[in-house]
Amino acid sequence: MALPAAVSVPVVIAADAGATGVEKEGYELIWQDEFDGVAIDPANWTFDLGAGGWGNGESQYYTDRSENAAVLDGMLVISALQEKYDGSYFTSARLKTEGLRAFRYGWIEARVKVPEGKGMWPAVWLLGTDFNRIGWPECGEIDIMEYIGNEPDLIMGTAHGPGYSGPLGFSRWNRREFNIADEFHTYAIDWTADRIDWYFDGEHYYTFQKEDIGEREWVFNRPFFILLNLAIGGQLPGPVGLDVTFPKQYFIDYVRVYRKVEK
């Protein structure tokens, strides 16, 4: 996924020492959103708004309405609706921690349930905080999880940077022997100065290292912010299938960030 240009905002590197949650051996929890409140926390999340395809030919209009994103029963629920809205025929939501929370290195994990259906494109991903200054792909992008709704057994993890973006990004297609959309699953990366590892339900499935890109620039040594979104259509999933019924809902149980404990 890619972003159009936006207004630059200051960034706070999160280090919430008082955060509480599930412990992870060898790591310290530094930030989390369990979505246990009554509304989306404005200290953690803001919204991307609008249409225009978002660099990928997507069909939705992103809003900040509660119809498209709300906290319900201890989860963030992103709902894609089929409706005419300001020139678009679908609406959805894209939340981000840009300007509020940013992270460099660590274990970043989300537990989510994705929606099935041709044209559905949910993701958990990261962008470099200097995106507004230098653009994409120079800022870097880490896709912790992308799911293509018409391939129910497939999820992907990808890294994009200068000279290795779009179809040239470093990616692993992870096929399972079941429909991923049927249940909640955890998606995570373990990110260090010169390596990123991807995990599905705690199982490692891909490693991307600095040495893999040769003479090209390694941009994953700077702060990144988190994005959660449900795109509709676009270059990767293709158009919405005629048999797809709406609304489609993307459930996020939690997002957690851990820092490795130095011994």
For the residues of 101-121, what is the DSSP string, one character each? -BB-SEEEEEEEEPPPSTTEE
- Taking residue 198's Cβ as centre, other Cβ atoms within 10 Å add up to 27
203 is catalytic: no
Catalytic residue among 146, 177, 203, 262: 146
Please give the span between the terminal C-alpha atoms of the chain, in angstroms, as a whole number: 36
- In this structure, the chain runs to a length of 263
Tokens at 259, concatenated = 């820092």
109 is catalytic: no
Is-contact 108 78, C-beta < 8 A? Answer: no
- C-alpha 186/C-alpha 197 separation (Å) is 14
Q: How far is CA 82 from the centre of its chain?
A: 22
Tokens at 16, concatenated = 């919430």
- C-alpha 206/C-alpha 196 separation (Å) is 8
Catalytic residue among 67, 109, 141, 203: 141
Q: How far is CA 141 from the centre of its chain?
A: 10
Query: So which residues are the catalytic ones?
Result: 141, 146
